[in-house]
């Protein structure tokens, strides 16, 4: 039986909710949809999400720039509709400045079903003019105090030929023109990059900025544990089976060292890079995501899950409610197990207590709400291993030293039998187009449910045991009365 011990009188460490900084989406025009907006508002309310990032705000389908009768026509109406909505619900954009308007493009190479142009500009000065006009417009419309809280990221994954037909030098030229145009509007606006896949180009990017006295207010990059931007049907479980358990922490440590003192944002990650991977819909993704998030604490300022919703149109627009998409929510707005993991994480407090004890698959963290009386303490437990690796149900014992008596004690679970709407969908016959009533039933099946937990004193130590099935998450919440002062 793995045993974990926490002393409630031990020094605490700040517990930063960095994963709430940003969530990803797919494609800018989706942000004009009512269902997209409803789902994002829910993520803000339930999960504490503060920013959202998506591709293509400069692409032709947003109408940002066209050429008619040999005149450049700028239109920021659709972009404004998105920004207006975000601000109305208390969120802000993490603006990815992409893709290339066709009228500025040097070629016709595109990516995704919606054909985002990925070629460098024919004239980088015209690109800089577009950026200056757009950012200047936003600063005038929303005010400098507001736009200084936004993040302006230059392009998406320019180290991959799918997303940039130029080379590194061409990207650096684009970054230089973009950064200078932004700072010409307001020197306090935040601009950064290189927005690469797989931690690429960070040292070269910062060296270039230093050599040319260019701002790099933050560093951004992407990483997926599969380290493969896979095709539909790829055996992602096999990829994950070969991925080291601590791969995401290793890569974040590497990027942290390269970024130096600059803020570091991972603006894309997920439990795999396959857009059709059943893992994304299953409890195993909740367990793996929780393990990853807890492993990169102290290394990053933001860690943006790709994506918050299966309302997503890079390959084709999905129809099935459970089809292995990237989202925390299905297209119908049904929370997946990983959504519920994010919900549990959001509820955690701001002070972490050290926990002693090790196990191959079980991890335990203790976090409390600062200044609460009685003390509100949550023990977050995960039993997780890479796919196809040995894992069994484990009964974990947790011992709490210097703990008062529990006024309340309950556990919320995510596993095959809890908060698992995909299994309920399969049980109802896997309808391709569930009715409104069926959707409500599935949302009900996805709910976290508080179950009473017994905790008892053994030799003066408050303890409990909990069975953790394979690939599961459990959050034990204890409301603890103050301990009696020691005598003498």
| Active-site residue, selected from the candidate residues 20, 96, 268, 463 | 268
The verdict on whether 451 is a catalytic residue reads: no
Q: What architecture is the 16-347 domain classified under in CATH? A: Alpha-Beta Barrel (3.20)
Residue 351: count other Cβ atoms within 10 Å of its Cβ.
18
Provide the pLDDT for residue 374: 63
Provide the pLDDT for residue 232: 64
Q: State how far Cα 121 lies from the chain centre.
A: 30
d(CA 183, CA 379): 45
Provide the pLDDT for residue 70: 85
| Residue spans of the chain under pLDDT 70 | 228-233, 372-374, 484-488
Using alpha carbons only, give the angle 320, 325, 326 rounded to the nearest 5 degrees.
155
Q: What are the residues facing 196 on neighbouring strands?
A: 221
Instruction: Output the pTM of the full model.
Output: 0.95
d(CA 58, CA 142): 19
Cβ(397)–Cβ(488) below 8 Å: no
**Residue 300: both structure tokens together:** 């990053």
Provide the pLDDT for residue 229: 60
d(CA 243, CA 388): 11
pLDDT tens per residue, range 291-344? 999 999 999 999 999 999 999 989 888 889 999 999 999 999 999 999 999 999
Residue with tokens 């200044």: 371
| Active-site residue, selected from the candidate residues 157, 351, 352, 479 | 157
- What is the domain partition of the chain in residue ranges? 3-13+351-480, 16-347
Q: What is the CATH number of domain 3-13+351-480?
A: 2.60.40.1500
pLDDT tens per residue, range 51-106? 999 999 999 999 999 888 889 999 999 999 999 999 999 999 999 999 999 999 99
Provide the pLDDT for residue 227: 81
d(CA 255, CA 231): 26
């Amino acid at each position: 039986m793995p045993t974990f011990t926490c002393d409630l009188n031990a020094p605490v460490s700040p517990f930063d909710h960095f994963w709430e900084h940003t969530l990803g989406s797919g494609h800018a025009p989706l942000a004009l949809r009512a269902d997209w907006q409803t789902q994002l508002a829910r993520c803000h309310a339930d999960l504490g999400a503060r920013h959202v990032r998506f591709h293509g705000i400069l692409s032709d389908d947003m109408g940002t720039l066209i050429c008619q009768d040999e005149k450049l026509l700028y239109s920021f109406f659709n972009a404004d509709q998105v920004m207006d909505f975000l601000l109305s619900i208390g969120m802000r954009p993490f603006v990815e400045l992409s893709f290339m308007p066709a009228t500025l493009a040097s070629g016709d190479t595109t990516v995704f079903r919606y054909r985002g142009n990925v070629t460098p500009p024919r004239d980088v000065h015209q690109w800089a003019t577009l950026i200056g006009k757009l950012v200047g417009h936003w600063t005038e419309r929303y005010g400098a105090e507001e736009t200084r809280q936004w993040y302006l990221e230059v392009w998406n994954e320019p180290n991959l030929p799918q997303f940039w037909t130029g080379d590194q030098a061409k990207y650096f030229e684009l970054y230089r023109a973009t950064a200078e145009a932004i700072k010409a509007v307001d020197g306090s606006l935040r601009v950064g990059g290189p927005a690469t896949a797989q931690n690429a180009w960070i040292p070269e990017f910062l060296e270039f900025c230093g050599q040319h006295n260019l701002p790099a207010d933050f560093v951004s990059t992407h990483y997926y544990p599969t380290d493969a931007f896979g095709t539909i049907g790829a055996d992602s479980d096999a990829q994950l089976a070969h991925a080291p358990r601590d791969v995401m922490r290793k890569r974040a440590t590497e990027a942290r060292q390269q970024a130096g003192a600059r803020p570091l944002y991972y603006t894309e990650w997920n439990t795999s890079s396959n857009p059709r991977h059943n893992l994304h819909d299953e409890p195993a993704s909740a367990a793996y995501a929780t393990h990853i998030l807890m492993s990169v604490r102290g290394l990053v300022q933001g860690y943006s899950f790709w994506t918050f919703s299966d309302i997503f149109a890079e390959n084709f627009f999905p129809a099935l409610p459970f089809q292995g998409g990237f989202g925390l929510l299905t297209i119908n707005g049904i929370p997946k197990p990983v959504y519920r993991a994010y919900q549990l994480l959001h509820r955690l407090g701001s002070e972490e207590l050290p926990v002693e004890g090790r196990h191959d698959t079980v991890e335990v963290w203790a976090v409390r709400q600062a200044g609460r009386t009685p003390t509100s303490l949550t023990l977050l437990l995960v039993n997780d291993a890479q796919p196809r690796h040995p894992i069994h149900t484990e009964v974990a014992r947790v011992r709490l030293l210097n703990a008062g008596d529990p006024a309340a004690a309950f556990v919320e679970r995510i596993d095959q039998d809890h908060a698992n709407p995909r299994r309920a969908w399969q049980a109802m016959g896997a309808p391709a187009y569930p009715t409104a009533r069926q959707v409500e039933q599935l949302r009900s099946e996805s709910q976290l449910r508080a179950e009473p937990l017994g905790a008892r004193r053994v030799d003066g130590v408050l303890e409990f045991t909990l069975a953790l099935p394979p690939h599961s998450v459990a959050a034990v919440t204890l409301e603890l009365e103050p301990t009696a002062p020691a005598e003498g």
